Amino acid sequence: MEKFLCKIDSKVIDDLNNQISNNRVLNWAPDYNNQAGISFENLSYILDYWKNKFSWTKEEEKLNKFNQFLFEYDNVKTHFLHIKSNQKNSIPLLLIHGWPGSIFEFNDLIPLLTSPDKNSLKDCQAFDLIIPSLPNVGFSFSPQQKPLDLTEISSHFIMLMKTLGYKKYFIQGGDLGSFVASIMAVNVPNEVMGIHLNLLPLPRGLNKKPDNIEEESYYEKVKYFMKHEGGYQQIQGTKPFTLAHALNASPVALCAYISEKFYAWTDNDGKLFTKINIDAMLANITLYWISGCIGASFWPYYIRHKSDWPIDINNPIMVPMGYSEFPKEIFSPPISLASQFYKNISLWKKHSSGGHFAAMEKPKELALDINKFVKDVI
């Protein structure tokens, strides 16, 4: 275990800004309300903000206020934040981000969980947070180390928590983080006290006829998503490195690819930056750029595409599970399907607004759900 301090050479940021200025942007793309990909107008706005208003230095300073470490296991180093609460009786909580996210997703959620009393959340549980960068992403990425699939990431995080001395803990995850949390719950149920998810990683096709209207509607939504929004999964699952070469060569291409997911997966009515913080999104994209991790970040999709689904219906999850359903999440299965995999559902909360990046869009609502779930379990 070694301490980590983020310090990116200013020349790297200068080079980034030069590449943004000199890149050739697609200028004929018609605006189909971002349905055909990010529009020229929206991308141009983001790029102008990125070059002229965004400050990596400020984001770096905020990040360095937290204790950061590198944990090495099986020749793979994982970057993580370790943020302990000043309130009494705090409980350890492992926060796991997904793709195309990073630790910057949790900027607004962190104070609500570590210092609820100071953030107008009275009588709420305080948490000690362990927030890793997924192996393959950001400061956990290195060209010299092997990329990990979801099962390997789960084993890595189990060992991280053991090394930190946590014998019992909760986990919160969305997107790929929900897979990792679920696998950990299967593998070490005596250590994981409960998992709270804002995406449920059920198999896309369960090969069963729907038993009710909710299941039928869910299957139709899955079909629609895979037809109209699922292209990224096919590319990242089959020929990831061809795309990665292009994205790794151009910050404009990388920004277009990632920011399009923020437009598509958040509850924004076309006004993305009224719902999420543009600086947090650009800190996330900048992290992918400066680390050069985009190709490695695709690896779990590639392995998942060639393997069995990592969540096995024949090995259901018995630890308590809480779920926060936000209406613009990419998949929202009904409880009748979820209960086939999660046998101890103690919280099922439906929200009226919000989407895939819940910690950025609805941090207060997510924090309250986590609190209720944990209090119900303990």
Q: Which residues are catalytic?
A: 175, 301, 356
Name residue 71's beta-bridge partners. Answer: 78
The SS3 call for residue 77 is strand
Spatial distance between the Cα atoms of 165 and 86, rounded to a whole number of angstroms: 19
In a 13 Å sphere around the CA of 242, the CA atoms on its Cβ side amount to 7
Strands 68-73 and 76-83, by their bridges, are: antiparallel
Name residue 192's beta-bridge partners. Answer: 169
Look at the alpha carbons of 47, 52, 54, 60 in this order and tell me if their dihedral is positive or negative: positive
Quick one: tokens of 209?
A: 């006829």
